[in-house]
Structure 1
Amino acid sequence: MRERWPLTLRGTGALALAVIALFVAQRAAIPELLYFGVLMLTLVLCAAASALVVRATGEVVRSAAPEVVEVGGLAEVQLSVRVSTALPTLPGRWSDALPAGLDGRADGAFPASASTLRRTGASVRLRYEVRGAVRGIHPVGPLRVSTTDPFGLIRRRFAVGAASAVTVAPTIVELAPLPSSTGEAGGTRQSSALQLGQGADNLVARPYAPGDSMRRIHWRATAHRDTLMVRQEEQESSPAATVVLDRALSRWSPAAAEGPGRDRAFETAVSVCVSAVARLVHEGYTVDVIDSDGELLADPVDGGEDAEARGLAASFATLRARPDGPSRRIVPASASALVGPVVVVTGRLDPDDLLALRAAAPRSPLAVLLTVADDDAARNVRSATGWHATALAPGGDVARAWDDATRPEDARVGA
């Protein structure tokens, strides 16, 4: 009720005094009270007219640091506000509209503003903190300002600027390094000799062979070895890894297809996926992220590019489950030929799925299967598939599940 009532406490008091003064002046025939009542009533009416006729406008520039906040992470939202109004205003309050996907308190005191008829209004700096609650791209705003007329009698409420988008990405959990045996099987950055003009410019020398161009002679190596040497380039190549995120709706709750944050199990799976990508990229792998039907979910992430891994997480802010394909595969058919690390993240599994997984187990020394579900089939996945497998409850400890699936003593079951 108070929000709808346009008068402030002072304005309400002035209106009450005007009514009482007019009533008493009429009954008691006191001219002074009549003048006072008319004056107070006129003052309130003029203030109301100014609020209706003189509109305040403005603009706001809103920024968040960091630009992308993870679920559970904090971001500081900064606002630069400029208000244009013909009449000066008294100090008031401001509030920024926050969606359900962000938690925080976005309100505070708004300073008084002068008339901008003759000069441009000064910029007002505001800030507040938000916590990412639900994955997605969430609109923040518009900014709403509540202030009063110069006499403090009438509330003036107006919106400033439009809404801005804040991206909430899935949480990247820091995972333990891969076991050393994985690196010995191709899990470290490797080098291969290639023809001139390919790869990175890491030059090595080799003996001259008939047909080599004279422009490729390595004079320093020739002088050192007393035999004609030519330059040969060596290319650094990153080993490949694959992360599969099974988005088939049959593995998840129907709510997972409606939008981010609707299915807790699917949200955990997305976090597992981006966390695994971040770990593999950090260790030098170039990572392909694909769906269970083989579709690329993002461009390959180059090894060592941690910023690209965070960019991948941001691109997954709106990822959701999809209808099942005809094959209902958990792992693409090409996965069995992969020799680099393979990480598969899926949900509910039935007995037929477990049999299919055994047949599709890759030749990779690190074939990890993480199921996010709370049913018995998920609990039995380790002994039924032949993968380095473990189950994770929705909202469970991702780092612990990763440790459980990748620890060196876990021999591939059934191999």
Structure 2
Amino acid sequence: MASTRGKMRLGPTEAGRVLLLGTVFFGLAAQLVPAFGVVSALVVVMLTVLIVGFILRPRIAMTAHLPDHVVAGQDTQFRYTIRNVARVPAYDLSLRFADLPAAIEHVAGPDPIGRLAPGESTEVVATMRARRRGKHPVPLPICESSFPFNLLRFSSVRKDREALTVLPVFYRLRLHLSRLTAESRHGLSGSAGQAEVSPEYAGNRPFLPGDSPRRIDTRAWARLSVPATKQYHNDSDSHVGLVLDTRIGADGKRPGADEIPELEAAVSLSASIAFTIQRHCLIDWLLAGPELHEFATWPRTMRVDRVHEALATVEAAESYDLNRMTDALLSRFHRISQVIFVLLRSDKTYSDLLDLAVAARCHCTSYLVVASDLEGPRHDAVRTGPWTLIPVGTAEDILAGRVGPL
């Protein structure tokens, strides 16, 4: 949310440009043919517009109500509260979206405001569309008035910007996952596939939005003076780690292109997997390229949002070395039951990591984004040692949602 009062800016409308050109034309013509009366009338009109428009220029306080995040490719509504802080009414107000980032498109709205009395507020809605994932700075729109006669624009401008998180495209997949849990691997009791069975107290953590009020520890709250939530280990929860390959070679980058389709498809597939498994599994961490994002302290209902937010800012890398993270990942493999890999190509970088996960008794599933120029069968699973590599489809198929059962 952002609130602003801007500086005045003056500019002609289309009708104003015509009138100014007409004034210049008649002024030049008056040098040859007596037309002083016409020129004087045009000058008087422009002076009247300038004086009246300056007196009634908009003095507006604007507050933006942007969503926490939006999904790439979908239309969303931006809401703005406009309040007239002047002592005189404001007429013929409209919002103009200038300097928007290339990833944000203004689709429609808002409707013009005919009159806004002193101290009066109103809310307007604009429809916007985010073209690409990421975090994009969105400037406040310019509030301008063309009163009177729609010849000049008197506007209120401020350079404030607010960051908007655009999530990658995701959808529900027809996905089959093993119901093997971390506890059942080690011989502990628990019925897989059933939630909230035999919860075991694990400690407290600060209360977060989305937590159930029933799990507030009142004693800890009284002791710490801040709300605290009880945490439980659940025998039936399957703990999952996501691994995303972000390596794009020099040949994968297209000159002048803002996006790399293969990477966008891998990110979209990862987001779709997280969205699909959220009811059955707890996503503990995401390894996106060399960056490790952890979600174990977040409540179940918020983990998929955190995963999507992390995926929104994933960048391509030409290469990286995961050997330095082996020890950290190995300790995490022993605390989860499944690891899901989304790969752009299969080679030693991730095959070694897969072997480590299998050695830690994790159930591993690997999905491959198929190159568009690959010849031959694309959807046959390939058995490589103790794990299976499943080709999903081309980048175009994944981004369009044309993914079959996995």
> Please, what TM-score do these two structures have when normalized by structure 1?
0.65
Distance 1:306 1:176, change over 3 A: farther
Task: Give the distance between the partners of 2:306 and 2:333, measured in 1 at CA.
Answer: 29
Q: Using the alignment, how far apart are the partners of 2:402 and 2:27 within structure 1?
A: 76
- The Cα shift of 1:25 comes to 12
Q: Which amino acid aligns with 2:75?
A: L
Q: 2:261 aligned with 1:264, yes or no? A: yes
**Structure 1 residue ranges without an equivalent (≥5):** 201-233, 405-415
| Corresponding residue of 1:81 | 82
Quote the Cα distance in structure 2 between the aligned partners of 1:329 and 1:251: 24
2:107 is aligned to 105
Measured in 2, the distance between the counterparts of 1:315 and 1:359 equals 26
What RMSD, in angstroms, separates the aligned Cα atoms of the two structures? 4.7
The aligned counterpart of 1:141 is 139
Residues 27 and 325 (structure 1), Cα distance of their counterparts in 2 relative to 1, 3 Å cut: closer
* SS of structure 1 residue aligned to 2:284: strand
**How far apart, CA to CA, are the structure 2 residues paired with 1:330 and 1:368?**
20
Does 2:374 match 1:368?
Answer: no
The within-5 A match list for 1:228-243 is: 236-237=234-235, 238-243=237-242
Distance, in Å, in 2 between the alignment partners of 1:191 and 1:14 is 78
Q: Say whether the 8 Å CA contact 1:102–1:132 is kept in structure 2.
A: yes
Residue 214 (structure 2) aligns with: none
Residue in structure 2 matching 1:9, options 11, 15, 24:
15
1:29-108 correspondence to structure 2 within 5 Å: 38=40, 40-48=42-50, 56-65=58-67, 67-84=68-85, 90-91=91-92, 93-97=94-98, 98-108=100-110
CA distance in 2, matches of 1:254, 1:177: 30
Given residue 310 of structure 2, which amino acid in structure 1 is its aligned partner?
S
By how many angstroms is 1:389 displaced?
2.1
1:95 and 1:107 in contact (8 A); partners too: no
Deviation digits for residues 190-242 of structure 1 (CA, Å, limit 9, x no counterpart): 86697xx7569xxxxxxxxxxxxxxxxxxxxxxxxxxxxxxxxx963434221
> Aligned with 1:274: secondary structure?
helix
User: 1:343, CA displacement in angstroms?
Assistant: 0.3
Name the one with the larger strand percent.
2
CA distance in 1, matches of 2:39, 2:70: 57
Normalised by the length of structure 2, the TM-score is 0.66
2:301 to 288, 302, 306: 306
**What residue in structure 2 maps to residue 247 of structure 1?**
246
Q: Does 1:316 align with 2:311?
A: yes
Q: CA deviation at 1:44?
A: 1.9
- Confirm or deny: 8 A CA contact 1:370 1:389 kept in the other structure: yes
Secondary structure at the counterpart of residue 316 of structure 1:
helix
Contact 1:137 1:165 (C-alpha < 8 Å) held by counterparts? yes
Higher alpha-carbon deviation: 325-334 or 124-133? 325-334
Contact conserved, 1:361 with 1:387, CA < 8 A, in 2?
no
CA contact (8 A) 1:358 1:384 kept: no
**What is the one-letter code of the residue matched to 1:389?**
L
Taking structure 1 as reference, are residues 357 and 165 closer, same or farther at Cα in structure 2, changes over 3 Å only? closer
User: 2 CA distance for matches of 1:362 and 1:59?
Assistant: 59
- Cα 1:302–1:174 change in 2 (3 A) is farther
One-letter amino acid of the counterpart of residue 282, structure 2: Y
In structure 2, give the amino acid aligned to 1:298.
Answer: E
1:14 Cα offset (Å): 9.0
Q: Within 1, Cα distance between the matches of 2:342 and 2:28? A: 78
Letter in 2 for 1:396: D
Alignment CA distance shift 1:131-1:387 (3 Å): farther
Is the radius of gyration larger for structure 1 or structure 2?
1
- Could you tell me which amino acid in structure 2 is paired with residue 74 of structure 1? D
Change (3 A) 1:252 1:301: farther
Gaps of 5+ in 2: 1-9, 205-231
Q: What code does the residue aligned with 1:299 have?
A: F
Residue in 2 that maps onto 1:388: 388
SS in 2 for 1:272: helix
Letter in 2 for 1:312: V
Tell me if the contact between 1:96 and 1:142 (Cα under 8 Å) persists in the aligned partners: yes
Alignment: residue pair count = 352
| SS of 2:395 mapped into structure 1 | coil
* Structure 2 residue identity aligned to 1:346: L
Distance in 2, Cα, partners of 1:179 & 1:151: 66
1:278 lines up with 2:275 in the alignment = yes
Compared with structure 1, are the counterparts of its residues 308 and 371 closer, same or farther at alpha carbon in structure 2 (3 Å cutoff)? Answer: same
Quick check: 1:58–1:161 contact (8 Å CA) kept in 2? no
